[in-house]
Amino acid sequence: MKAVLLIPIVACFVVKVRSKIFSRWVCLAYFTSGFNTAAVTHNSDGSSEYGIFQINSRLWCSDHHSQTKDLCDLSCRGMGPCQKTDLLTDEIIDDILCLKRAVVGLEGLESWMAWRDHCHDRDLSHWVVACNL
């Protein structure tokens, strides 16, 4: 009987945690790219930032013109029909997976200026209120 009562309570916590994660990503996507999955920003150091989350080529993806560690093992931008996944398509699962990998580092989301300036330590619930999470 206790287990039956515990399941809805745990489910509420899971939904709340997912909402918090989604709101962080939605806020970041808005302030980095304006939700533009094809956004590209070129930096003075020769690296570029790609896609809806503006993932930097220096560490995370290969753009074939700057040095990279390609830690997400993906192309920043597609370079042909046989190209591995890239960050400039409307299919953003690869962007999300790479972002998740990037934020587990020491700085986490703090390495994104847009996060620091517009999202960090703010109530982000309004970003997902219409999602019914």
CATH of the domain at 37: 1.10.530.10
Is the model more confident about 130 or about 121? 121
Structural domain contains residue 60: yes
Q: 117 lies in which domain range? A: 31-131
What is the side-by-side strand order in the sheet with 55-56?
Answer: 40-42, 48-50, 55-56
Structure tokens at 129: 């209120």
CA distance 67 to 78: 17
Residue 21 has pLDDT above 50, yes or no: yes
Average pLDDT, the chain: 82
Report yes or no: 19 and 27 within 8 Å, Cβ to Cβ.
no
Q: Assess if residue 9 is contained within a domain.
A: no
Question: In this predicted structure, which of 26-30, 71-75, 85-89 has the lowest mean pLDDT?
Answer: 85-89
User: What pLDDT shows up at residue 88?
Assistant: 93
Quote the percentage of the chain above a pLDDT of 90. 54
Structural domain includes residue 16: no
Query: Is residue 13 one of the residues assigned to a domain?
Result: no
Residue 19, domain member (yes or no): no
Q: What is the pTM of this model?
A: 0.78
Q: Other C-beta atoms within 10 Å of 71: how many?
A: 14
Other beta carbons less than 10 A from residue 29's beta carbon: 24
Whether 123 maps to a domain, the answer reads yes
What pLDDT shows up at residue 15? 44
The secondary structure of the chain in percent helix, strand, coil, rounded to multiples of 5, reads: 45, 10, 45
d(CA 119, CA 57): 23
116 vs 15: CA distance, rounded Å: 25
Selected residue with higher pLDDT from 9 and 114: 114
Residue 42 lies in a domain: yes
In a domain, 118, yes or no: yes
Tokens of 49: 């930032």
| Averaged pLDDT for residues 18-47 | 89
- The β-bridge relationship of strands 40-42 and 48-50 is antiparallel
Query: Cβ atoms within 10 A of the Cβ of 18, count?
Result: 13
- 81 has a pLDDT exceeding 90: no
Number of domains in the chain: 1
